[in-house]
Structure 1
């Protein structure tokens, strides 16, 4: 009897695509939770998007017609993320903030990009080890301690290609392009193309 009931259930689920419907409901609920917990002026979030901000709407603001597939994460000790209108953040890209990340309008961020305005850990080895133990035992830190942070600004019309990394304190100028796999440690002038590790200007672009 149990085998018959199981067979009927399997048939029913298969015929009605019930597992797909359940997955769609879960995804819709996840997107709804994300939109509820940020300042959102009409952005589109996809099921793979992740937002970590302690459910504090003031920490992340997203502009109209921006599409988010990646992760937006604000550290408990501080940080904020602002993304303008008509932007794109690709899948598996991560924007992590311990101070501030400000992104203008019409900015395209490809997949697997890392943007971090913080070192995340201390430079001193002993202090880093002690704080790591504290992190694992007590959870995210409310105080920054000696972790170094500096704002990141990405101006309008910039394009950050796949696998690129943008580190703390960097400003990307208007219309600039960060090439694939580049590691950006210094400011990028407007309308230039930078590539490499560390990233260097190889071309001036037309405005």
Structure 2
């Protein structure tokens, strides 16, 4: 095995809990957890940005604010752009990568889930990952859930409480479970 478990997951491999490298996932998660406790306990924006940078490997832009508490299992797989606001209690399961482009709004209690398990019961105790991408100027409403492999298009809105299991085009509003297009956003409004 020349690749580590993270590279294997990123390449699309399904990794069983019994895999000899699986413990690397837990070790990585512990490092994020230690720093996340500090992040969620501080009230100083500069210190919060510094801690986020330690967790993710990339500094948090001064125009971006991630409200506390935030829950993330592997911050090294989260990329956050500029001029972003993430509200309280956002959960990010990030092994598949979570990319949040510039000018995004994320409401409270949103779930960004890039990790899952195979449907086949014989393989279910394994991990598979796919990226979640939130494109520029999108707005994710309160308590929405974005599932693995989903891209939310530019300027689009995900209604509160929606469960998004497929890509969202640019310039639309989606809602429901599973989320469906409920309205197109006109070019004058973009």
Larger Rg: 1
Q: Report the equivalent of 2:72.
A: 73
Q: Report the equivalent of 1:178.
A: 158
Q: Report the equivalent of 1:164.
A: 144
Q: TM-score with structure 2 length normalisation?
A: 0.67
Q: How does 1:30-179 map to 2 (within 5 A)?
A: 34-39=48-53, 56-58=55-57, 61-69=59-67, 70-75=69-74, 80-119=77-116, 121=117, 123=119, 125=121, 146-179=126-159
2:45 and 2:120 map into 1 onto residues whose CA distance is: 40
2:73 and 2:166 map into 1 onto residues whose CA distance is: 22
Whether the aligned pair in 2 keeps the contact of 1:74 and 1:80 (CA below 8 Å) is no
Deviation readout 1:78-103 (Å, 9 max, x if unpaired): x6001111111111121220120000
1:72 and 1:96 map into 2 onto residues whose CA distance is: 8
Runs of 5+ consecutive residues of structure 2 not aligned to the other structure: 1-39
Whether the aligned pair in 2 keeps the contact of 1:115 and 1:167 (CA below 8 Å) is yes
Q: TM-score with structure 1 length normalisation?
A: 0.62
Deviation readout 1:35-91 (Å, 9 max, x if unpaired): 33332xxxxxxxxxxxxxxx5542x65333111114241349xx6001111111111
1:122 and 1:164 map into 2 onto residues whose CA distance is: 22
Deviation readout 1:100-152 (Å, 9 max, x if unpaired): 00001110000011111001x56565766xx6xxxxxxxxxxxxxx3111011
1:32 and 1:125 map into 2 onto residues whose CA distance is: 46
2:168 and 2:43 map into 1 onto residues whose CA distance is: 39
Deviation readout 1:142-181 (Å, 9 max, x if unpaired): xxxx311101110110000011000000000000000011
Q: How many residues matched? A: 147
| Higher RCO (CA 8 Å, separation ≥ 6 residues) | 2
2:105 and 2:158 map into 1 onto residues whose CA distance is: 10
Q: RMSD between aligned alpha carbons? A: 2.7
